[in-house]
Amino acid sequence: MQKMIKGKLAGSKLAASHTADDRLPRYVQIRDDVVRRIGARSWAPGEPLPSEDKLAAEYSVAVGTMRKVLDALALEGIVERVRGRGTFVSRAFERTSMLRFVRFRGAVEGEVPTATIVSISTTQVLPAHAREKLALEPGDKTLYVHRTRSFDGEIVLVEHIFLPLNRFAKLQRFLKEHSPPLLYPVYESECGVLVSRAVDDLTGQTLSALDCKLFGLPPRSSAIQIERTMYEHSGDPVEWRQSYIPIDRFHYSVEIR
Amino acid sequence: MQKMIKGKLAGSKLAASHTADDRLPRYVQIRDDVVRRIGARSWAPGEPLPSEDKLAAEYSVAVGTMRKVLDALALEGIVERVRGRGTFVSRAFERTSMLRFVRFRGAVEGEVPTATIVSISTTQVLPAHAREKLALEPGDKTLYVHRTRSFDGEIVLVEHIFLPLNRFAKLQRFLKEHSPPLLYPVYESECGVLVSRAVDDLTGQTLSALDCKLFGLPPRSSAIQIERTMYEHSGDPVEWRQSYIPIDRFHYSVEIR
DNA sequence: CAGTGGTCTAGACCACGGT
DNA sequence: CCGTGGTCTAGACCACTGA
């Protein structure tokens, strides 16, 4: 009977999914399918999913199993559950952003620095390291955005952002007319990219001549480099950036569990 | 009936717990009680807990509820579940340690640097900032450990560690005869302290004269400071330390979700 | 083989939100 | 009031471990 139900399911909804392994637990298969449908905008960020009952019926599983799926997604931060109201697709990194762990010494807590674009361009040539992080082939084009972030006109952060052009063509046009402080909401609304995970690598580095000039520092000054790779729910990388903060303004706070 | 069972439970095991709020879900109350018993060494790290069935019977709840408790504890990293074998108390930070996110540029990946103690002392005087982080009253004594960490004789990290003396008196004696590379296993075995959570604050700082000498750097050199506060399962702080890494050796890697 | 945790079912009652 | 998610029960069958 267990087997029969499994077969029935595989033949209906989940068959539509690409490579769902039948040996995996059902709740994992369903989780992956829901993630796929969120990525495909079946339900947009902020919108409610169907109720547990309805989803359970749709996937032909018990409500308890569907709960396990939705609880897992809530834990991953992909959805948010509100008792009495429903289950909603998260607005991803809107709240968390690049600056979640970054603080600026001497600045008001929580204040977001103003963004100014230094230059935008497209390029096929980028360091092997960057190409690897973005899982690009040689010859794939990228969008390069050079920005500064400042408080009261004083630059506290310089960003070099690399994005695969095939996903972010719309962003190029958007940034010609706007300079939003946070890019992630724009990725979402303009390019349909939902960021779910990132890896930060912090090191000390010597600044380029241009960046020294931007900060108003002497040549070859050193700064903290935050190298961040961001991934969507599917696990594919979608952004790679290097950010520089002068040492005397640098503050990074993180919780370890 | 629900109510009756609740009363029965509150009157048996959970009443022993200090301030369990009956309005809280049962699985939360039971979770807290299991955490308390782990803290009280009813089951030592590495040892198995009783099986789901037995614990469920002991707490007079359904197995499903007990599963929810144990799954939550596994998610918090307090226990580890192994199918076919049992549920075991985690060995806490033994694997993760101070250096989980810290890398040293130019060093072999995963290699643990040798520890050398510069000095050990007890003191009542420490910065207000440190006293606050450790939630100590003025006059409470602390144990202060000054260590260096090195690869092949080259110092790559200097640590200033502050511990409440009432919990760590045994450590003082232990460190007179040993210089272990990792302290957390010693906290656990000698002092019964299980670390579950930490907060790292990274900033750029100017090194003290002594630390400059230790690194072999000119006076007033700058370095990355990692200020870490560690907490046990109960949420109480148990350690506060400042670590310094020369900028050219500094590398910190962290995943954000 | 007996015992463990992993998955799944099919219900129940509850607390909460909005109508 | 109804519909939502939150808690809890009492089973079932399975996969894996170790004796």
More confident residue, B207 or B185: B207
Q: Place A20 in a pLDDT band, splitting at 50, 70 and 90.
A: low
Shortest distance, CA A212 to any CA of chain B (angstroms): 18
Last residue of a domain, one of B63, B90, B117: B90
Domain contains A254: no
B51 touches strand D (CB under 7 A): no
**Residue B242, domain CATH:** 3.40.1410.10
pLDDT at A230: 93
B100 touches chain A (CB under 8 A): yes
Q: 3-state secondary structure string, chain A?
A: CHHHHHHHHHHCCHHHCCCCCCCCCHHHHHHHHHHHHHHCCCCCCCCECCCHHHHHHHHCCCHHHHHHHHHHHHHCCCEEEECCCEEEECCHHHCCCCCCCEEECCCCCCCCCEEEEEEEEEECCCCHHHHHHCCCCCCCCEEEEEEEEEECCEEEEEEEEEEEHHHHHHHHHHHCCCCCCCCHHHHHHHHCCCEEEEEEEEEEEECCHHHHHHHCCCCCCEEEEEEEEEEECCCCEEEEEEEEEEHHHEEEEEEEC
In a domain, B103, yes or no: yes
**Is pLDDT above 80 for A98?**
no
Residue B236: pLDDT above 60?
yes
Same-domain check for residues B105 and B224? yes
If asked whether residues B236 and B194 sit together in one domain, one would say yes
Asked if pLDDT for residue A36 goes beyond 60, the answer is: yes
pLDDT recorded at residue B69: 96
Q: Which of A96, A103, A194, A202 should one mutate to test binding to chain B, selecting the residue with the greatest count of B CBs within 10 A?
A: A202
Q: What is the mean pLDDT of residues B118-138?
A: 91
Q: Do residue A128 and residue A198 come from a single domain?
A: yes
pLDDT at A35 over 60: yes
Cα–Cα distance between B189 and B183 in angstroms, integer? Answer: 10
Host H or E run for residue B105: none
What confidence score (pLDDT) does residue B3 get? 34
β-partners of residue A224 are A204, A245
B74 pLDDT higher than 70: yes
Both B26 and B11 in one domain: the answer is: yes
Average pLDDT (B188-197) is 82
B71 — pLDDT class (breaks 50, 70, 90): very high
| CB nearest to B198's CB, from A77, A197, A256 | A256
CA distance B77 to chain A (A): 8
A130 and A227 housed in the same domain: yes
Let me know if residue B22 belongs to a domain: yes
Q: Identify whether residues A56 and A163 lie together within a single domain.
A: no
A256 in a structural domain: no
Residue nearest to nucleotide D17 (CA to C1'): B84
- Share the mean pLDDT of chain A: 85
A158 and A50 belong to one structural domain: no
Q: Is there a contact between A256 and B222 if contact means CB atoms under 8 Å apart?
A: no
pLDDT given for residue A188 in this prediction: 79
CA distance B242 to B200: 10
Which residues of B are less than 8 Å from A76 in CB distance? 257
* Pick among B104, B203, B230, B243 to test the A interface (most A CBs inside 10 A): B203
Yes or no, beta carbons of A250 and B203 under 8 Å apart: yes
CA–CA distances in Å: residue A152 to residues A108, A155, B77, B115 = 12, 8, 44, 45
Q: Do you know the residue count of chain A? A: 257
**pLDDT recorded at residue A100:** 72
**What average pLDDT does the segment B115-140 reach?**
91
- Same structural domain for residues A219 and A245? yes
* pLDDT value of residue A93: 58
Q: For A117-129, write each residue's pLDDT tens digit.
A: 999 999 888 888 9
Which nt has its C1' nearest the CA of A81?
A: D5
Judgement on whether residues A229 and A152 belong to the same structural domain of the protein: yes
Whether A97 and A211 share a structural domain: yes
Q: Report residue A250 as tokens.
A: 């640098």
Strand D–CB A6 distance below 7 A: no
State residue B179's pLDDT score: 86
Name every residue whose Cβ is closer than 8 Å to that of residue B106 and which is 6 or more positions away in sequence. B249
Do B86 and B137 lie in a common domain? no
Residue A183 belongs to a domain? yes
pLDDT higher than 70, residue B193: yes
State whether residue A25 sits within 8 Å of chain B by CB.
Answer: no
Residue of B197, B204, B224 with shortest CB distance to A257: B197
Average pLDDT over residues A189-199: 84
Query: Considering chain A, what percentage of its residues have pLDDT values greater than 70?
Result: 88
Q: Domain range spanning residue A55?
A: 2-90
Per-residue pLDDT at B70: 96
CB B122 within 8 A of CB B172: yes
Query: What phi, psi does B4 have (nearest 5°)?
Result: -60, -50
A9: its two tokens: 């399911």
**Tens of pLDDT along B139-180?**
899 999 999 999 999 999 999 999 999 999 999 999 998 888
Q: Which nucleotide does the CA of B85 lie closest to, via C1'?
A: C4
Total domain count, chain A = 2
DSSP structure class, residue B95: T
Q: Do A257 and B196 touch (CB under 8 A)?
A: yes
Q: What is the pLDDT of residue B93?
A: 58
pLDDT bucket at B36, cuts 50 / 70 / 90: confident
pLDDT (average), residues A22-48: 88
Encode burial over A96-120: b for 16+ CB neighbours within 10 A, e otherwise: bbbbebbbbeebeeeeebebeeeee
Model confidence at A6, pLDDT cuts 50, 70, 90, reads: very low
Ordered DSSP codes for B32-89: HHHHHHHHTTSS-TTPBPPPHHHHHHHHT--HHHHHHHHHHHHHTTSEEEETTTEEEE
Q: Residue B203: which pLDDT band, with cuts at 50, 70 and 90?
A: very high
Q: Residue B235: which pLDDT band, with cuts at 50, 70 and 90?
A: confident
Contact B252 A201 (CB under 8 A): yes
pLDDT number for residue A216: 95
In a domain, B147, yes or no: yes
In this structure, is residue A122 part of a structural domain? yes
- Of A65, A90, A115, the residue at which a domain comes to its end is A90
Q: Does the pLDDT at position B6 exceed 50?
A: no
CATH code, domain carrying A29: 1.10.10.10
Alpha-carbon gap: B116 to the closest alpha carbon of chain A (Å): 25
Looking at A40, A61, A90, the residue that finishes a domain is A90
Question: Can you list the pairs that A106-113 forms with residues at least 24 positions away whose Cβ atoms lie under 8 Å?
Answer: A106/A249, A107/A151, A107/A156, A107/A249, A111/A151, A112/A181, A112/A182, A113/A149, A113/A150, A113/A151, A113/A156, A113/A157, A113/A181
User: Is there a single domain that holds both residue A107 and residue A43?
Assistant: no
| Within a domain: A255 | no
Residues in chain B with CB shorter than 8 Å from the CB of A199 are 253-256
pLDDT score recorded for residue B18: 44
User: Tell me: the pLDDT tens digits for A220-251?
Assistant: 999 999 999 999 877 899 999 999 999 989 99
The tokens of B254 are what? 């962290």
Residue B187 has pLDDT above 70, yes or no: yes
- Find the CB nearest B203 among A251, A254, A255: A251
Q: What residues of chain A lie within 8 A of the CB of B156, using their CB? A: none
Q: Is the pLDDT of residue A11 over 50?
A: no
Stated pTM of the model: 0.80
